[in-house]
Structure 1
């Protein structure tokens, strides 16, 4: 039974993470520790986080879609693979621990931060794609699996791969990332809900904060473009790296 004061506090945290997620991803590594600190069991914390994150991501995704930054139909098969991958990831993480990922993911996030910081491709201009849509689909499915299994940095992985491999401008890649993030969140929520791992009342309260944050974050990203997205991607990737390494070595 949660203390009543935790509901508004966690809703306020959800607003902040929704804002961050709409632009650069990584809000889960703020929200999940907050839920654990509130005394919620780990799997319930993961499920509840996914439920509130899904709502915030849905608002951000809708804003990007209304602006014409992506077409759902054009990417429907990639969406399907992300959905299947995320659902499989949740099933696996409920069966085994994710501690083994604790050192691998910070290395990948550091690589993302360096790529975003140093690459001349990280602008709002589209560039020559290095792989086609068909070749990208399995990679998107693998990132979806990672999101269901572990999660931190998923948005950064989607965005950097869409820019670096598909040649998209940073704002368009961020918009499409929200579609893929929403897909993996929906899949994860379905599996967690079937397993009874979501606190419904808390999720609803936090969803209000996440939706407001997602609205504000997506509008900020569309207004300021790469000038805002690029530094936030670097900061979030490095912050996630430090947080994960601290958690790994502190046991």
Structure 2
């Protein structure tokens, strides 16, 4: 494990648990963990921290996906179809990730977060309606594969943080799912995007495996707890967590950027 103080290590473990919880509820846990890794390892190349974040995230996301699949009405076959496209997109994005710098990373993440916040606040009923019934049209499936699969998958491999949130928003808008259904579907897709990117990062040797193994344990616990809470409390709870999470992360990134 790279040299790091005990205080920083404990902080990262707690952040990993919180990120797992947020990822399971609404997605976007990487927007918490990746900035923490950037602060904890300011002299490491961003590619190593992106790779480590992927190794941690895939564990918690997998736990959440299994929990949702067991207890929520999710179309696993459709999620896997979108996930296959997302895997290809994320692998391609990860291939280009070595050229991403931390100076570029923070403002990009912050801008995307602000866009998400504006969308959710201006659409108060978004994702809280009853779940869609009946078969999903082929046109909507194709749109979901293109947008949630290839497009967001590429972003996940290239940068990563916020992928779960963007998947939830895209699946809700394109397939007319409610937020709980969209979260369940997004977890399965997100496992595929994490796997595709992690394979590339592993081949490139840009994963801090010992650190990732420790943080993954805490991320796993957070993901398990978050999935159970989202299923129990419903879409209104998920939407509230989304808004609070985005506001907090924008404030934190803005402070880190300009303080």
TM-score w.r.t. length of structure 2: 0.85
**Contact conserved, 1:21 with 1:57, CA < 8 A, in 2?**
yes
User: Corresponding residue for 1:24?
Assistant: 26
Residue 146 of structure 2, aligned match among 138, 151, 173: 138
Change (3 A) 1:219 1:79: same
Cα deviation 1:183-208 (Å, max 9, x = unaligned) = 11111111111111111121111111
Cα deviation 1:76-110 (Å, max 9, x = unaligned) = 32111100111111111214547557556544433
Provide structure 1 residue ranges, at least 5 long, that are not aligned to the other structure: none
Quote the offset at 1:215 in angstroms. Answer: 0.3
**Contact conserved, 1:60 with 1:218, CA < 8 A, in 2?**
yes
Alignment pair present for 1:220 and 2:229: yes
Change (3 A) 1:185 1:216: same
Count matched residues: 250
**Contact conserved, 2:47 with 2:97, CA < 8 A, in 1?**
no
User: Corresponding residue for 1:2?
Assistant: 3
TM-score w.r.t. length of structure 1: 0.88
Residue 14 of structure 1, aligned match among 13, 16, 21: 16
Quote the offset at 1:17 in angstroms. Answer: 1.1
User: Corresponding residue for 2:70?
Assistant: 66
**Contact conserved, 1:98 with 1:149, CA < 8 A, in 2?**
no
Cα deviation 1:202-228 (Å, max 9, x = unaligned) = 111111101000000000000101121
Alignment pair present for 1:126 and 2:131: yes
Alignment pair present for 1:191 and 2:196: no
Quote the offset at 1:19 in angstroms. Answer: 0.8
Please give the alpha-carbon distance, in whole angstroms, between the structure 1 residues aligned to 2:243 and 2:154. 23
Deviates more, 1:201-210 or 1:126-135: 126-135
List 4+ stretches of structure 1 deviating above 6 A. Answer: none
User: Corresponding residue for 2:241?
Assistant: 232
**Contact conserved, 1:147 with 1:154, CA < 8 A, in 2?**
yes
User: Corresponding residue for 1:47?
Assistant: 51
Q: Cα RMSD (Å) of the superposition?
A: 2.5
Quote the offset at 1:7 in angstroms. Answer: 4.3
Please give the alpha-carbon distance, in whole angstroms, between the structure 1 residues aligned to 2:37 and 2:101. 19
